Amino acid sequence: DNVHTQSLTFGKEGTGFLSTPAKAGGVVGGLTFTTANDAPDRTPVSFELYGSNNSINGPFALIWADEIADFKQALPWPPLTMNTTPIRFTNTKAYDHYKLVFTAIRDPSAANSMQIAEVEFLGVPEGGWPPQVSAGDDRIVILPYTSVKLDGIVEYYGNDPQLLTMEWSVQSEIGRAHV
């Protein structure tokens, strides 16, 4: 939990790390990534996560491969900032050892390496991840223990508004936020 550290690897794409969590036997069902402090061209934009119950040297089974959507946008993601688009996946198998490989970086022609400040392995919550719900273009559904970034009018109908954290910007004076 220190975003002011960074992992810098001069191998660029196809590099990563091996990890043996202190508490063995957990089921990893999500990841977070935090960008490093400089050179956004080095930021990874896709990954593969593998698991092994034999040894830290494998053999490994592929758990999930995906893009880091926030880091792959047209403009670079801010330095020392964690992704906000959830990276959650279906996995029911616990592993003792993990291998994370970064399969692509933001701009391999401009970068001489790959760098990341922090990676967090997320355990699957009891009962699974909350559903991702879309209520259409003009409305959103806010579920407990989730965060939402949006522009526009916010109307919250619920029993626990003190648990609600919102970030938004007003695009016009037509709408007001109601909490």
Instruction: Answer for the pair 15, 114: CB distance below 8 angstroms, yes or no.
Output: yes
CB atoms within 10 A of CB 153: 14
Distance CA 151, CA 149 (A): 7
Strand 114-116 relative to strand 7-9, pairing: antiparallel
Residue given tokens 């692509």 in the structure block? 104
CB atoms within 10 A of CB 45: 21
40, 41, 174 from 169: Cα distances, Å? 26, 28, 12
| Size of the chain, expressed as the number of residues it contains | 179
pLDDT at 126: 76
pLDDT in tens, the chain (179 residues): 666 777 888 888 899 999 998 887 789 999 999 999 999 999 999 999 999 999 999 999 999 999 999 999 999 999 999 998 889 998 999 999 999 999 999 999 999 999 999 999 998 877 777 766 554 555 555 555 555 555 554 555 555 555 555 544 433 333 344 44
